[in-house]
Every structure is written in C-alpha cells, then in structure tokens.
C-alpha cells in the first residue's frame, strides 16, 4: 500500500541552526511529492513540490527539498531556521487517482520547535 | 490571507443535530476537497469534487453528506454524528485539468467541530 513516513515526530533546533526533516514514501511509481506547513489552528500552506526534472527544488520561506529516487526520499532542508518556522510540517504524496489530482496522502507530520 | 473561506470556524453540535459546513473559493478552481484532521494527526481525504461532480469518496460514513452546488461552493452536511467525529474539517481547492494542474492545494483555515 502507498504510504508516507516521517520518522521524526518532534524536532527542536536552535534559531539560526540548519534543519533537515525526513520523508520517505512507498509507491509504485514516482508520485507527485509535496511539503506542507501548518501553524497552530491554521490550514496548510504549500512549501514546495516535486513533479519531475531537477531533483533539488526550491520553495517559499527559504526551504528546499531533494528528491532521491534510490532512497524513496524527499527530505526538507533549511540552512538557517527562524523562530517563525515553528510549526507542523507534513510530507505528502499525490496518488494521481480519479482523473483529477490533489488526492493527497499525508505523513504523520513533524512538529518543529525553535529555541531562541 | 487565505483565499478559501470556511464557515463556521467553530461548531458544537449534539448527536441528533443537523448542521452544515460551508466552503467558498473564488480562484476559478474546478476541484474541491474535504479533509478531516483529528488532533495531532495528519489530514485524511474524505471527498473530492471535480467539475462539481463527486469523483472520490473515501468510504466516508453516510452521516457526512457533501454537496457542490456550483464551482465556487462546497458544503458538508452533518447529521447524527458521533463524538469521535470531532475534528478539524479542512476544505481545499485546486486546478482540476491535468494540463493546468500545478500541484498546489489551497486550504482554508478549517472548521473545528465538536460533537457532544
């Protein structure tokens, strides 16, 4: 069955430190891959996505992610974390079913805390 | 500012009540979605509408009844809910046609439902 795994439930980093959030997927083909961020009590906002092509993708707020087919991974990175980055981060896969995309399967999420 | 508007933001209802959640977008998107998010869990897809037609129903109980009266509106009618249905209900929209699909779902801030 298709699945998305985020092995880290909670990560704490110091402000200004680098960040890497891990994501692995299980899917027969290369799916569409996404990272979304959710602040407390809010909806989700797209950070970045991968469809095909260059395996290093840039997103908003200084985030980037690298797709590694051999490892079925799509890890999110940021070189210097800001306090405002504290939020829940979800990796997601679009299964491309039903003729219309947007059928997302989410990982369980990684909660990011930022120390001053 | 989110471009997907959900009302009400909070709803408390008894198990015998009938209520509705509403979602509106004016981005010209022709795909709209309902997701359910329990506390500390990822969002789970419930329904997908594509061109105002229901294209995906993820085996959701019949006490949840979606409706898409036009391309801008999406409703979720609630009847005879159970306490375990308490959750954040997220509406989202996206482009529908494969050729114009960018991969981004635009989420509303959600309706937080409590069933007593």
pLDDT in tens, A33-54: 999 999 987 889 999 999 888 9
B101 in A contact zone (CB under 8 Å):
yes
Q: A106: which strand partners?
A: A92
Quote the pLDDT of residue A14.
97
B105 in A contact zone (CB under 8 Å):
yes
Categorize the per-residue pLDDT at B40 as very low, low, confident or very high, splitting at 50, 70 and 90. Answer: confident
Categorize the per-residue pLDDT at B47 as very low, low, confident or very high, splitting at 50, 70 and 90. Answer: very high
Residue A103, CA distances (Å) to A89, A95, B104 in order: 18, 6, 11
Is A34–B41 a contact, with Cβ atoms under 8 angstroms apart? no
Buried b (16+ CB within 10 A) or exposed e, B33-57: bbbbbeeeebbbbbbbbbebeebbe
Is A101–B101 a contact, with Cβ atoms under 8 angstroms apart? yes
pLDDT in tens, B50-79: 899 998 888 899 999 999 999 999 999 999
Quote the pLDDT of residue B84.
95
Residue B98 backbone dihedrals phi, psi, to 5 degrees: -55, -40
Kindly list the residues from chain B whose CB atom is less than 8 angstroms away from the CB atom of residue A42: 109-110
Categorize the per-residue pLDDT at B100 as very low, low, confident or very high, splitting at 50, 70 and 90. Answer: low
Q: Does the pLDDT of residue B110 top 60, yes or no?
A: yes
Mean pLDDT of B15-20: 92
Is A45–B96 a contact, with Cβ atoms under 8 angstroms apart? no
Nearest in space to A78 (alpha carbons), one of A96, A61, A90, A102:
A61
Mean pLDDT of A22-41: 88
Distance CA A7, CA A81 (A): 20
Kindly list the residues from chain A whose CB atom is less than 8 angstroms away from the CB atom of residue B56: 97-98, 103
Quote the pLDDT of residue A7.
96
Mutate: best of A100, A105, A109, partner B, most B CBs <10 A? A100
- Alpha carbon of B31: minimum distance to chain A alpha carbons (Å): 8
Quote the pLDDT of residue A99.
52
pLDDT in tens, A63-72: 999 999 999 9
> What tokens does B4 get?
């997907």
B11 φ/ψ sector (left φ>0, alpha ψ -120 to 50, else beta): beta
Task: Classify burial at A67, counting beta carbons within 10 Å of its beta carbon; exposed 0-12, middle 13-18, buried 19 or more.
Answer: buried
Residue B102 backbone dihedrals phi, psi, to 5 degrees: -100, -10
Quote the pLDDT of residue A27.
79
B45 in A contact zone (CB under 8 Å):
yes
């Amino acid at each position: 069955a298709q699945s998305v795994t985020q092995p880290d439930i909670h990560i704490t980093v110091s402000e200004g430190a680098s960040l890497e959030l891990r994501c692995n997927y299980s899917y027969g083909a290369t799916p569409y891959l996404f990272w979304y961020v959710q602040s407390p009590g809010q909806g989700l906002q797209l950070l970045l996505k991968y469809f095909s092509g260059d395996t290093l993708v840039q997103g908003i707020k200084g985030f980037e992610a690298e797709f590694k087919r051999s490892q079925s991974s799509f890890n999110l990175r940021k070189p210097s974390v800001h306090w405002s980055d504290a939020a829940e981060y979800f990796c997601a896969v679009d299964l491309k079913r039903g003729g219309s995309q947007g059928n997302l399967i989410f990982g369980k999420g990684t909660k990011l805390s930022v120390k001053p | 500012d989110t471009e997907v508007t959900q009302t009400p933001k909070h709803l408390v209802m008894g198990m015998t009540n009938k209520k509705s959640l509403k979602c509106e977008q004016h981005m010209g998107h022709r795909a709209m979605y309902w997701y359910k998010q329990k506390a500390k869990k990822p969002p789970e897809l419930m329904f997908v509408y594509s061109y105002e037609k229901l294209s995906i129903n993820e085996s959701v109980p019949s006490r949840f009844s979606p409706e898409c009266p036009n391309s801008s509106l999406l409703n979720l009618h609630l009847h005879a809910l159970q306490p375990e249905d308490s959750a954040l209900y997220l509406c989202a929209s996206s482009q529908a046609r494969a050729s114009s699909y960018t991969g981004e779902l635009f989420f509303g801030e959600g309706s937080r439902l409590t069933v007593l």
